[in-house]
């Protein structure tokens, strides 16, 4: 077992060309994020280029790496680190040179095989066989008592090692075959130790949340459950991740669309940079609006994701099931991302299963303030104002009626579920934020913060998280309850209706809290939400189960259908 782990950690690294290609893509992404591309190249860019050169062209005794160093090292130093590199006048010129290197490395990598025989990588793994005394990894991650009799045992490794591109970086995929003949796919990821520990804490929180979701009646009735990938650390910098070939990222869908119509994926970024570079500080907001309108009018339409799913799924019933599951998972991650202050939800961080609609998020990390020397980890000072990702393409795929009906419904049920174990949740968030503060403080400063600083910041972060959580939870107030005339706690809804104490109306459908409705109104302008509200009302009044007793006011795209559907049976 120990030798197998050492072989996986030491021999499953990407090739030198793949590592350099990933580094060039990351640097090019930083150039695209620069608001003024014609500004002077920052000094930290040259520091990053030097670290890339030291990492990719370091000392290695293999003949393959020696050939790579002789072919690329001198040219890389001349373009970026030598006298020619110091003549770069602005970020735009740096981006042009990085794109030239990206094109050369891509052409080289695309000629490489997509799979490698395992005996070419490790003779030990090729000849490895077990007698049933080693378990398949990832069977102890559930928040429940393990059943050892049902655990699968490792027999051997697959004959092929896959070459994969995950989240912009290359990695290797291995297959573990059990004693029963089942095959389990894993990817070998190399990452920084602090990122691995942070993802472990987030995944542990997801599993605890799933345990609560399975206990609450309303979340059980909707089958709400977070997708938690299996992650098994092998060393401080290497981990195994469960791999599913049916999962694709939103970036993959966009790149396939660009490939079909012969467009460069970077065109929206380049157009935005060109427009913003011509703007002044006085008309910057108007320039951003103009760039957005240009992009959605000519480069990125709102039906890319819908067309991809229509080509993938031919059965309308299957498509409906995928849409419903996808919206449930989108709403769940949006809820948790809002209360934890998670930002940086790029299309490359969101993947979904084409067969089931299950959504998974990577790098689901809270956004922290980084101004003081400790990197003041305070969620209340986050600068990311986007609460969650619900873009035009996602809304077009799911349809406005589904979004209106289910999104706020999932928000309310999640909030009601997580506010009941409030003391347990506060205790867990205390441990979570304390570990995060210590880890990031040690990363940004060699000194260890004092216990007073840790406890003070921990309490502030927990209070902020609980405040956001309670803001989304249903509000209970005293009022008239059941038909027997007794007084009961009722939940006031956005349209003035009421529900009993367990959160359901006379029709048995959970209602939406007033906080969710007000949030929906603040997220969408009236000229967008009102027509959708009208269409939803028309759908209900034409429904054969409509009993003519609907009373609803326009409450925004997140609140309309949830408040209306409690007023009729069907």
As given in the structure block, the two tokens for residue 154 are 């490792």
| Whole-number pLDDT of residue 63 | 67
Distance, in Å, from the CA atom of 93 to the CA atom of 483, rounded to the nearest integer, reads 74
* pLDDT score recorded for residue 35: 66
pLDDT at 174: 93
User: What's the pLDDT at 55?
Assistant: 82
Q: What is the DSSP letter of 41?
A: P
- Consecutive 10-residue averages of pLDDT for the chain (570 residues): 88 88 87 73 82 80 75 84 67 86 88 90 89 84 75 90 85 91 90 79 88 90 89 87 89 91 87 82 84 89 91 87 91 89 83 91 78 52 65 88 84 87 82 80 71 82 86 59 33 35 36 36 36 51 49 36 34
How many CA atoms lie less than 13 Å away from 400 in the CB half-sphere? 17
What is the model's pLDDT at position 504?
Answer: 37
Helix, strand, coil percent content, the chain, rounded in steps of 5: 55, 15, 35
Q: Is 398 exposed, middle or buried (0-12, 13-18, 19+ CB in 10 A)?
A: buried
Q: pLDDT value at position 86?
A: 62
Q: In the sheet that 247-249 helps form, which strands lie side by side, from edge to edge?
A: 247-249, 350-353, 359-361
Residue 265: closest CA among 255, 273, 252, 256: 255
Structure tokens at 205: 């929180």
CA-to-CA dists, residue 551 to 38, 114, 406, 497, 561, angstroms: 56, 59, 19, 9, 12
State the pLDDT at residue 309: 92
Give residue 525's pLDDT. Answer: 35
**At residue 286, what are phi and psi to the nearest 5 degrees?**
-65, -35
Distances (CA, A) of 267 to 270, 299, 417: 5, 8, 44
pLDDT of 538 reads 59
What is the pLDDT, as a whole number, of residue 498? Answer: 36
């Amino acid at each position: 077992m120990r030798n197998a782990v050492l072989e996986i950690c030491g021999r499953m690294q990407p090739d030198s060309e793949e590592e350099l290609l990933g580094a060039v893509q990351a640097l090019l992404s930083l150039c695209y994020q620069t608001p003024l591309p014609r500004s002077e190249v920052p000094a930290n860019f040259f520091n990053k280029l030097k670290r890339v050169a030291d990492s990719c062209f370091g000392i290695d005794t293999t003949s393959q790496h020696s050939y790579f160093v002789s072919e690329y090292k001198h040219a890389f130093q001349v373009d970026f680190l030598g006298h020619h590199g110091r003549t770069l006048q602005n970020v735009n010129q740096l981006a042009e040179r990085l794109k030239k290197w990206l094109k050369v490395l891509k052409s080289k990598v695309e000629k490489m095989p997509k799979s490698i025989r395992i005996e070419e990588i490790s003779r030990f793994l090729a000849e490895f066989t077990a007698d049933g005394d080693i378990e398949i990894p990832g069977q102890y991650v559930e928040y429940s008592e393990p059943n050892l009799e049902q655990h699968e045992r490792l027999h051997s490794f697959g004959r092929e090692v896959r070459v994969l591109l995950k989240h912009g970086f290359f990695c290797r995929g291995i297959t573990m075959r059990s004693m029963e003949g089942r095959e389990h796919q894993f990817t070998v990821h190399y990452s920084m130790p602090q990122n691995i520990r942070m993802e472990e804490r987030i995944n542990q929180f997801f599993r605890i949340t799933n345990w609560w979701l399975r206990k609450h009646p309303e979340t059980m009735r909707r089958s709400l459950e977070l997708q938690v990938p299996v992650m098994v650390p092998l060393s401080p910098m290497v981990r195994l991740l469960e791999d599913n070939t049916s999962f694709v990222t939103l970036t993959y869908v966009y790149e396939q669309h660009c490939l079909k119509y012969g467009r460069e994926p970077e065109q929206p970024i380049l157009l935005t940079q060109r427009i913003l570079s011509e703007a002044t500080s006085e008309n910057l907001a108007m320039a951003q609006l103009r760039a957005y309108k240009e992009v959605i009018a000519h480069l990125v339409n709102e039906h890319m994701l819908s067309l991809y799913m229509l080509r993938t799924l031919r059965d309308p019933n299957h498509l409906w099931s995928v849409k419903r599951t996808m919206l449930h998972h989108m709403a769940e991650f949006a809820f948790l991302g809002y209360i934890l202050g998670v930002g940086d939800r790029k299309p490359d961080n969101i993947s979904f299963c084409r067969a089931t609609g299950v959504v998974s998020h990577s790098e689901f990390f809270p956004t922290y303030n980084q101004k003081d020397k400790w990197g003041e980890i305070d969620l209340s000072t986050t600068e990311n104002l986007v609460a969650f990702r619900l873009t035009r393409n996602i809304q077009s795929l799911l349809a406005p009626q589904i979004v209106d009906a289910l999104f706020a419904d999932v928000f309310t049920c999640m909030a009601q579920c997580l506010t009941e174990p409030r003391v347990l949740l506060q205790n867990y968030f205390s441990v979570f934020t304390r570990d995060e503060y210590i880890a990031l403080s040690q990363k940004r400063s060699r000194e260890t913060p004092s216990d007073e600083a840790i406890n003070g910041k921990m309490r502030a972060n927990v209070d902020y998280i609980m405040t956001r959580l309670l803001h989304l939870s249903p509000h209970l107030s005293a009022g008239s309850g059941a038909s027997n005339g007794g007084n009961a706690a009722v939940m006031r809804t956005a349209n003035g209706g009421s529900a009993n104490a367990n959160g359901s109306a006379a029709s048995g459908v959970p209602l939406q809290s007033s906080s969710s409705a007000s949030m929906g109104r603040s997220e969408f302008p009236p000229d967008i939400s009102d027509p959708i509200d009208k269409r939803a009302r028309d759908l209900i009044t034409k429904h054969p189960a409509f009993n003519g007793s609907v009373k609803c006011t326009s409450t925004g795209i997140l609140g309309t259908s949830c408040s209306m559907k409690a007023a009729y049976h069907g």
